[in-house]
Structure 1
Amino acid sequence: MSNSFDHITDIKLWRQFKKGNKDAYRILFDKYSPILYHYGLSYVGNEELIEDCIHELFLNIWESKKSLADVESVKYYLIVSFRRTISKQQTLIKKRTEMNDSYFKYATDQEDNSIQEFIINEQTKTHNSHILTEAISNLPEKQRRAVTLRFFENKKYEEIMLIMSISYQSARKFVYLGIKKLRENLKSQSYNK
């Protein structure tokens, strides 16, 4: 007799809830949230997800209360709706996880590429530095000295002239000839810009 009375009471509560009765809504929540919680544990096992889904379900039915149909079994309706809510949340979680995994893979790939590019650039710089050092050492003495002063010590032609005890025109000529010779030597070697 109690089950029949509960059933009638649930239907009356449901109708009152649909009309906006907050007390009926609270009674339905208090009565069915523990049932949904235990059902959710057997269905999913994730307590936090279950609690979130119970709140989402009751929020959704409150927001759409006027458009809800009359039901024969409030318990059955809530369990089916709850299962849908859980499935929807699991799908969202899965999509978020896939997006996060995708982003992490992308970021990791980018980082790996950046590290590889950095290593390659450093190796290229080192290789080029060795080639350039060798090419400079093969220049005639005055050209090597003038190029070194001009480009490695950032001296002006006037300073080169004084340091090397040569004329201004000779300083420019030694730098020019040194660069010309370097270009020829570097062209014939594997120098990467």
Structure 2
Amino acid sequence: MKPRPKNEDTQQLWQDYRAGDSYALAQLMQVHYTDLFHWGMRLYPERELVKDCIQELFLSLWQIHATISEVENVRAYLLKALKTKLLRELSKKHNQFYELTDDYAFDVVFSADMRMIEDEFEVYRLKQLEKSLQQLPQRQQELIYLRFYQNLSYDQIAETMQIGRQSLYNLLQKALTSLRKHWQVGLNVLFLILWGR
């Protein structure tokens, strides 16, 4: 996995895009496409719909390049914009209004490279963590994903999820408490198994 570009680099691309540079917008799409695609697939696992929404997002961005304002973090802005666009498309597709606060599907699955760990104990721990994550409510899974996979700050997560900072902290606390509980149960079972060998 190649490293994410520095925030300063994407900020410069954003400035160039706002000034009318279509190549800068293409670069932004190239730089953020993978993150956007993974994010979209976790929100709604239909590849073609997610790809279409990403393309429509960047077409929309080009149409408003002269009037769009400055953003503090380009990646956080794009994740939020994709989520909004995807939920609007789902509303049209299913003739049902999807809101940002609705209980939509969100799936946390570790990437294939993390599954290639040779150590049996590490494989077991990853599977337990994945199982514990999947038992969390959807919004808690989304928060964990944004914080630890997308590496967004708490302010950026609050903006992306459109919740207040205190609500974010409360949600994170609930998620971590639940994970600790499930994780401890899993480790206790493992130690009982290993002790019995």
TM-score range, shorter chain: 0.3 to 0.5
Q: Which protein has the bigger helix share?
A: 1
Higher RCO by CA contacts (8 Å cutoff, separation 6 or greater): 2
Query: Taking structure 1 as the reference length, what is the TM-score of the superposition?
Result: 0.46
Structure with larger Rg: 1
Query: Taking structure 2 as the reference length, what is the TM-score of the superposition?
Result: 0.46
